Structure 1
Amino acid sequence: MQPKNNTSAIERVDALIAHIGISQAAFARRCGVEPSNLNKRLSGEVKFTDNYFAKIAHAFNVNFEWLRNGIGEMFAEEKAIGKAQFAAFNQMLDANASPVSQNIISGDNYQGTQTINATEGKIAALEQKIEAQAQLLAEKDKLIARQEQEIEFLRGLVNKQQ
């Protein structure tokens, strides 16, 4: 079943992408779809389906009803999980790598998985921002080094003229 108003769905997905602060391509990859596939939906060429909304909801812990129909808040209710609990949970999952033991440990807790997925999405977005800032700082350092070389060159010319 498809939502009645695709334009509103497009607006909600656009709002979500803007809120998360990542590119459409990164958003699509995180949802497990091709960026061109997402682009067709955002341009109105293809309508969003419930399955597509489910992928987005799962990837970013978004409230499915908000995404599909505009009902409720953007994000599903999240249980508070601290950094230490999150790290401990990941260590348990790493230590028990079989799918059966992972299901037992996690209790197939959909809400917990949603919270972890949302946290991972936010971490990925922050990592991208940090990488972009690191690149800008590296460019700034190169410019400063080039300017310092030019200053030394000009000082050398001035000293030769004196």
Structure 2
Amino acid sequence: MARIQILELPTIYRDEGPDETPFVLVIDQVEDIESVHAFLADPPGLKDQLGARAILVFDERVEIPANETPVDPNGYPLKIRVEGDFETFHQQVQDEIRKAEAEILDRRQAALDGQRLAQERTGIAHTGQIFIQTPQGPQPGKVVGSDTERSPEK
């Protein structure tokens, strides 16, 4: 008895408009190929009406691997169960979290070091004390105004 199968061709992806998965209609195990050719020719444009790129007819059995259903040793369809390796996934996520946290701490420490260096360069120590160089020598001072003007303390 003749079989009808569909052989999917590679999908055509388009930037605009719908994607298309072209296919070929495969008819195999045909006993009388001439009658099938006559049937296919009867309605003109059958291939186009079906949307197939081609219709292939064979008198022998043709196996299309994508259409095969795997079977177990008893001949029943094989059921495949896929389970994720969540322990490995969990470990990968934890490693990424630790790396991100370390990077944040490194950046935070670099920012604090930068602030500390900037304060030391401008004379501001952690105590808030600054010294201003005067002709009489270094004198304690303070930061005044938003533009950090310096004036000696009296």
TM-score (norm 1): 0.28
Which structure shows the bigger proportion of residues in strand conformation? 2
Point out the structure with the larger helix share: 1
What TM-score, normalized to structure 2? 0.29
